Structure 1
């Protein structure tokens, strides 16, 4: 007996019966026929293909940007190393020559923005030049980045212009900047010396190896990548199914003329392939169009040069090949549940109820995979990112399989209500699959964001380092790299007269040793020396009385061993060495006798949280100009009620000593790598949420196109357009609300599992509220944006049919 399957392109299989199965030629021919239908399907066909290409293109463009992130990070690292001096990390001293220069950090902050910069003073006629600089700036001249030039020329940069105070003579080129929006400058100096805080270099381009990333950060980065990219891939899979209802009716016509079911599925896959290929091309064009504008976009204080945004070839090839292949696979899988007959499609009737058991397998498998990873904490040496990524992907993708079942189960029992509500519910009851697919991206994004926020909050404390500083006593600290009592007094006087300053404490700090030789196996007794006025010293220790010319020995509370070491060095009535040439041989350069009247006093924490032990002396007791290895410090308390008080302080510091280092007093300091990861999360989250909003809008418009004739008929029979608008809102809101509930449950579950993996506690169970609010905002925006097309599609012209 011979069994023949109708349709073209079959091959004979030997055996007792002959069964015709599709060959490679059949696949190519049927895919090509589907491409022809998509390309020559008239206005309707091109509209459907355009929607698919636009939807896929948006996701592909974001994937291309994501594939460019590794290159952009490498380029930023290379730029950072290129402008680092050769001696910056090695610490090797450089002899002065015609090819060296002296430099010093000159960076500052302005209204929360970091402004980097350096002072330069060439030693000869052929100094090394930083990247992006063709000629070193002369004294009182300055080279600036384009962004800094623009800021200084604006009214908002007046205070910063006063602080820098140099004449702009040129612009730093792109090779010398980390990103197009970086605020950076090089200023010339004729007074900078090594003795006054400068450093000498013979060149630029340090290639120091980057520090390895901590295991907790690896977990966070992997989770960020999954949370940002899984919604994109789901959206692309949804976009290739635009126009499914019209496609099914067209495939029914093919069945009527003799095509078998497999042929129609391959033809449908060809249509999806054509739309996906156009989508890849559209995404590439969108990427190229948006790439030049990337330099002008600054998100969360980060941007990138367009030239640095180059996709990794392997990742770009994976996107270019994977997206069309996924489109074909998604179409074939979707059509397996559809019976296309010559006279219609079974989907037009009430479909079979969805089963739950197999939809629970992916999230359960994901939880099991994550549970088997083990504990990852600060003591972990390394972590394998692949099981973490696989487990998180299984959980998030499992939510997309659960959402259609949940929507069907809930809307199936809804009855009654206002007319818009009944229209929306009836539409969801007849076909909830497309509505669930439309919001699957936002469901995954919200679930991932909840889990990511839980993990980020859990590991947050691990990347906060207590500084011991007390912001209640001081806001700003200033340090000059050399000791000068005269500078300390000028700091006190200058800052005291600065608008917004309430209190100033200025000191000169150095160290002293006990003179004389010691045994080879002993350490030369050493302690610190702090010089300041009586008012200043009272901030550092509990003084019974004080007048100029007094000296004290400060002890730390509960530190007997340290205090004994201090007493070995600082003995009242005996000499100490203020400027030791060599600690090893005990030779001295300047001996000073600690007054016999020096009293021992308990130390107290200074405004930046330090306890100062050793010798405390007033200017009348020690001439600070003789201290060769000292530094000058000042701590300042500002008035919060004075606007720009910190900027006034920075301007004063720049006038007193341009090389002075200024920093804000903080109780805790955040790890720099963790801060950069957080910024990356905010940037990626913003882009993903924008894509989700765009995808929902495209899906909404596609669904309106599918039902425009029905809506036109309803309007023609007297249905108000506002009723249709409310029904569209409810059709979107119901799946999103259910998706948000599912995302909350899934996100909290994933977050708890991940927190157990990193051995961190979690207490804020209301973390999902902001993300639920973001989902509601997306619904509102998409509905408002879909109203103009709705009004246009419900005109009487919509009743026309071809």
Structure 2
């Protein structure tokens, strides 16, 4: 073919390019100049896309958040990276003692420090090492100490001089409670460590397969409703758009042109939504510093990862166009009007079930480590598979809902008039009503699976410090019974009486002080030496007559004059102790907290201070046994900080407390925040979607009202129209969510458990959100029943 013969075709192609741009431009102009209704649709689309974009940008910030948290945690590592054996003291060494504690259930990161030279390593966030009696506080702890209600906390810190605040680089978040206290009394012998530098290798904040799995499930569950909401947002005003396209067909536009015009009509709303969402995200970032979830986040932490941010800004318009063009497949736009296919094909079930099966298979493959090894999936390579599997199951659940609605409600023809109107609307609207509640279905199914997984992991991560919470010890000369707790002091001040200090705390019924050292006898037997006065020793064992200078032992072969090599528990120093005159006893030892290691009379020496003349270089561990009344309000915090005032490195063990891994606590707080955000997005989408559907049928409502239909009947029909798919969808979501939770527990190796109460709460929340948002749409419904709705142009 000659160039002359090909040129006309080339000219047609060149003429087609301006027509494509012209159609897109015409659609964009219609969305901005097509009247109040069209502009309102564009605004609603922009709001929906903006909310979805902001949520997706927040999700795109998750890698940066985790990296920053891991880096700050690594930068302030001290005892985790302390060299062993300890280097000699020098100008570049710093002694560090652990002083972590709690207040009102919140963890406090505490350190006691002493510079051994002129150039010690500085902890992150500090300008200089505090001197003796000086303290540097985090901003959150400083604010809390200024609260007049925090009297117990103030008791532990009011005798120190505040010399500064910890900078952001030394904190996990703006809400973290932390302090660095200078003390000249700190030494290696009283549980200090010597460091020459700070910092270690960053590690993942969410460690362990179960923690990672919960994180993946949580992110998928929180983001899937956002994607569903985005798909619903770009469909706002679909019926009015189709009528406008019919008018354009009458003016000569072909079917291809109408599709391009529809795409162009969507673009301004999407573009405005991207700008709005980006603005909401960046303007809302400072809010994270005021959110009281764990230690919180700094504003700089919430920065989208560049590649993910680009994916959001490109993916949102592409997804929007795909949804709009896909929604027109079931619509015939002719010059004489818009026809929605009256006889829609019945929803096919096979591909919907295929999604569910595919998701289950991927989850099993990703979590079965033997199969993963054979497939070459090492490390965290299972994360993409389990994410895709979860998405397939959740979207398969929503995809199965139209089929269920068709089967359950498609042939119903009886009942009150309001129910029949709702059923007719459900049958005529296709997937519209089900799309409106898809966000609820996804969230309910995912939340049930997530909650069941998290509840079991939480139970697995909780360690009870005492086998029984109500261990009351028998009647003795002190009389009464109560909870037994113990306070361990590594560096108590010599001029303070710990018994007198703790006895002033309301709720303390009795206190007994004693000291402990560990040693090895000449025979090789381990020996525990408890030193206390006679009254305290009688609380430890059933002893014969006791007076100052006495010592008691049941250790076989141990006699006066023998040598015991004694040392503190940290084994940093040791020396010989000559055993004094001993009185044998056979016990039994009373079940006290100090006897948590299960000692018997055969490995314990009980000595009065006059008998236990220990070498001066040996640092004993001082302890106070305390009997308390746990019913006294605030007793725990007041007692804890009364001991902290004596020794900031002390530890008070409450039998009624349980210890939970901090990663699980942080995960719980993050999931609660994410669930609230998802519910807010879903509620906004439902309100806008329901109002848009009501406005789209205003002429029908006006006609029905003019012919005598009661308003209450129309209101009830709208409630039925929303409630029926929600009830059916929630039942489906509860079934799938429960099965999914059990499946994930099974493949993750967590004991299977079902939590019906929590499931009912989640289901009730989903139904409640749908019902509430429908009620919010009733004012718009009542306005459509006015006679003005009969007017037509």
TM-score (norm 2): 0.86
Distance 1:143 1:268 in 2: 62
The answer as to whether partners of 2:643 and 2:650 remain within 8 angstroms in 1 is yes
The answer as to whether partners of 2:46 and 2:273 remain within 8 angstroms in 1 is yes
The answer as to whether partners of 1:137 and 1:143 remain within 8 angstroms in 2 is yes
Give the counterpart of 1:571 among 545, 554, 558: 558
The answer as to whether partners of 1:550 and 1:598 remain within 8 angstroms in 2 is no
Classify 1:458/1:298 alpha carbon distance in 2 versus 1 (closer, same or farther; 3 Å): closer
> Is 2:425 the partner of 1:439?
no
* CA deviations over 1:382-403 (Å, ceiling 9, x no partner): 5622222222211111111111
Classify 1:231/1:503 alpha carbon distance in 2 versus 1 (closer, same or farther; 3 Å): farther
The answer as to whether partners of 1:581 and 1:589 remain within 8 angstroms in 2 is no
Q: How many residues get paired?
A: 763
The answer as to whether partners of 2:577 and 2:615 remain within 8 angstroms in 1 is no
SS at match of 2:741: helix
SS at match of 2:529: strand
Distance 1:483 1:616 in 2: 23
The answer as to whether partners of 2:73 and 2:202 remain within 8 angstroms in 1 is no
Distance 2:660 2:453 in 1: 16
> Is 2:387 the partner of 1:396?
no
The answer as to whether partners of 1:85 and 1:204 remain within 8 angstroms in 2 is yes
Distance 1:776 1:365 in 2: 28
The answer as to whether partners of 1:515 and 1:588 remain within 8 angstroms in 2 is no
Pairwise CA distance, 1:645: 0.6
Distance 2:410 2:386 in 1: 37
Partner residue, 1:529: 529
Give the counterpart of 2:269 among 255, 268, 275: 275
Classify 1:475/1:552 alpha carbon distance in 2 versus 1 (closer, same or farther; 3 Å): closer
Give the counterpart of 2:578 among 585, 588, 592: 592
Partner residue, 1:310: 303
SS at match of 2:666: helix
What aligned pairs does 1:91-240 form with structure 2 within 5 A after superposition? 91=84, 93-123=86-116, 127-165=120-158, 166-207=160-201, 209=203, 213-240=207-234
SS at match of 1:336: coil
What aligned pairs does 1:53-92 form with structure 2 within 5 A after superposition? 53-85=46-78, 88-91=81-84
The answer as to whether partners of 1:483 and 1:624 remain within 8 angstroms in 2 is no
SS at match of 1:642: coil
Classify 1:684/1:477 alpha carbon distance in 2 versus 1 (closer, same or farther; 3 Å): farther
Q: Which runs of 5+ in 2 are unaligned?
A: 1-6, 472-482
Distance 1:582 1:648 in 2: 28
Distance 2:200 2:357 in 1: 49
Pairwise CA distance, 1:442: 0.9
Classify 1:787/1:180 alpha carbon distance in 2 versus 1 (closer, same or farther; 3 Å): farther
Distance 1:588 1:394 in 2: 63
Give the counterpart of 1:769 among 760, 765, 768: 760
Classify 1:641/1:579 alpha carbon distance in 2 versus 1 (closer, same or farther; 3 Å): closer
Distance 2:527 2:66 in 1: 45
Distance 2:485 2:432 in 1: 58
The answer as to whether partners of 2:174 and 2:295 remain within 8 angstroms in 1 is no
Pairwise CA distance, 1:778: 1.0
What aligned pairs does 1:524-563 form with structure 2 within 5 A after superposition? 526-533=526-533, 536=536, 549-553=549-553
Distance 1:574 1:28 in 2: 104
Partner residue, 1:748: 738
* CA deviations over 1:281-324 (Å, ceiling 9, x no partner): 2211110121111111123x342111111001111111111111
Distance 2:570 2:110 in 1: 35
* CA deviations over 1:523-579 (Å, ceiling 9, x no partner): x6543323345565566556677665554446xxxxxxxxxxx75xx6233513354
Distance 2:744 2:246 in 1: 48
Classify 1:630/1:140 alpha carbon distance in 2 versus 1 (closer, same or farther; 3 Å): closer
Pairwise CA distance, 1:751: 2.3
SS at match of 1:155: coil
SS at match of 1:746: helix
* CA deviations over 1:264-296 (Å, ceiling 9, x no partner): 223323333433332222211110121111111
Distance 1:127 1:656 in 2: 26
> Is 2:790 the partner of 1:783?
no
Partner residue, 1:521: none
* CA deviations over 1:368-416 (Å, ceiling 9, x no partner): 3334446359x99856222222222111111111112222333323445
Classify 1:740/1:212 alpha carbon distance in 2 versus 1 (closer, same or farther; 3 Å): closer
The answer as to whether partners of 2:492 and 2:647 remain within 8 angstroms in 1 is no
The answer as to whether partners of 1:371 and 1:757 remain within 8 angstroms in 2 is yes
Partner residue, 2:285: 291
Partner residue, 1:324: 317
> Is 2:638 the partner of 1:657?
no
Partner residue, 1:39: 32
* CA deviations over 1:738-797 (Å, ceiling 9, x no partner): 110110121122223323322444342625211111112212432343344445555565
The answer as to whether partners of 1:370 and 1:387 remain within 8 angstroms in 2 is yes
Classify 1:789/1:580 alpha carbon distance in 2 versus 1 (closer, same or farther; 3 Å): same
Shifted more, 163-172 versus 303-312: the winner is 163-172
Partner residue, 1:617: 606
Classify 1:61/1:597 alpha carbon distance in 2 versus 1 (closer, same or farther; 3 Å): same
SS at match of 1:119: strand
Partner residue, 2:478: none
What aligned pairs does 1:487-526 form with structure 2 within 5 A after superposition? 490-504=497-511, 506-515=513-522, 526=526
Classify 1:578/1:793 alpha carbon distance in 2 versus 1 (closer, same or farther; 3 Å): farther
Distance 2:162 2:781 in 1: 56
Give the counterpart of 2:686 among 696, 704, 712: 696
* CA deviations over 1:667-690 (Å, ceiling 9, x no partner): 754333333333332222222222
SS at match of 1:280: helix
Partner residue, 2:489: 480
SS at match of 2:340: helix
Shifted more, 712-721 versus 685-694: the winner is 712-721
Distance 2:16 2:533 in 1: 95
Shifted more, 779-788 versus 86-95: the winner is 86-95
Pairwise CA distance, 1:601: 3.8
- Structure 1 vs Structure 2 CA RMSD: 3.7
Distance 1:582 1:475 in 2: 22
What aligned pairs does 1:617-696 form with structure 2 within 5 A after superposition? 617-620=606-609, 621-623=611-613, 626=616, 628-665=618-655, 669-696=659-686
Distance 1:627 1:484 in 2: 16
Shifted more, 324-333 versus 503-512: the winner is 503-512
Partner residue, 2:329: 336
Distance 1:218 1:336 in 2: 41
Pairwise CA distance, 1:130: 3.0
What aligned pairs does 1:304-453 form with structure 2 within 5 A after superposition? 304-347=297-340, 349=342, 351-373=344-366, 375=368, 382=379, 384-453=382-451
Partner residue, 1:559: none
SS at match of 2:437: helix
Q: Which runs of 5+ in 1 are unaligned?
A: 1-9, 14-18, 517-523, 555-565
TM-score (norm 1): 0.85
SS at match of 2:599: coil
Distance 1:637 1:376 in 2: 50
Distance 1:769 1:678 in 2: 19
SS at match of 2:107: strand
